[in-house]
Structure 1
């Protein structure tokens, strides 16, 4: 399972009135890491849309362990842990140095862009993701 790491800086807009990262922003950081993971595998947004399909989040499980604060330098990770016919599960974390601040899994499903009905992940993409490339 190849892990992708994305550096992220915490800005004022990411925090609440107490200067702590607002909980939903961890999900935004994770979304960016998954997007960049796919791009690094050759599946940027234009490549995905050329298949007349797109990915939607269908399930999340997040555990918040420690807070991130204003101006922290974070590392957000994404790694594929399972590939099925229509879904991909990513294991993700947000770290500050060696400290894990947040971790969890996010499942995305491939759907038809027009009907939004589940659609099998294209065979070439599924093979590449299963091989951890």
Structure 2
């Protein structure tokens, strides 16, 4: 089993649309935040990677299936799992739960990319790969 990150949050008013339902781009925002938290949890915060190493994690692909709506003040658990660590690419799966019920699931695929000059995907360092493939579980919130 690969690295897992789980955090709990409450849907805020600004996350909803005029009908009071979570506006769909927020699921992508939360998946993005969770993936960034995974890198921070393994000791490679994205802000530091960008500032010091000129390494970024641009999205190559993202997807989300919506099964049930979320509303203002719903309490949500987002469970994110590193599904695959390729040579240059990382895939993270995300599952959103409300009251133990799966309400959405998705994934993002990112490339380990150097921004020294023209952006170019690079081989993921072994230290990062090993940490991403560890069986650790971190729970926040």
TM-score with structure 2 length normalisation? 0.86
Asked if the contact 1:94–1:102 (Cα under 8 Å) also holds between the matched residues in 2, the reply is yes
Relative contact order, higher structure (CA 8 A, sep 6+): 2
**SS of residue in 1 equivalent to 2:44:** coil
Counterpart pick for 2:85 among 83, 96, 103: 83
Moved over 6 A (4+): none
Structure 2 partner of 1:96: 98
Task: Give the 3 Å change call, closer, same or farther, for CA 87–51 of structure 1 in structure 2.
Answer: same
**1:125 and 2:128 matched:** yes
CA offset digits 1:98-124 (Å, max 9, x no partner): 111110121111111232111111221
Structure 1's unaligned 5+ residue stretches are none
Structure 2's unaligned 5+ residue stretches are 137-141
**SS of residue in 1 equivalent to 2:92:** strand
Deviates more, 1:44-53 or 1:103-112: 44-53
> What is the RMSD computed on CA atoms of the aligned residues?
1.5
Aligned length: 133
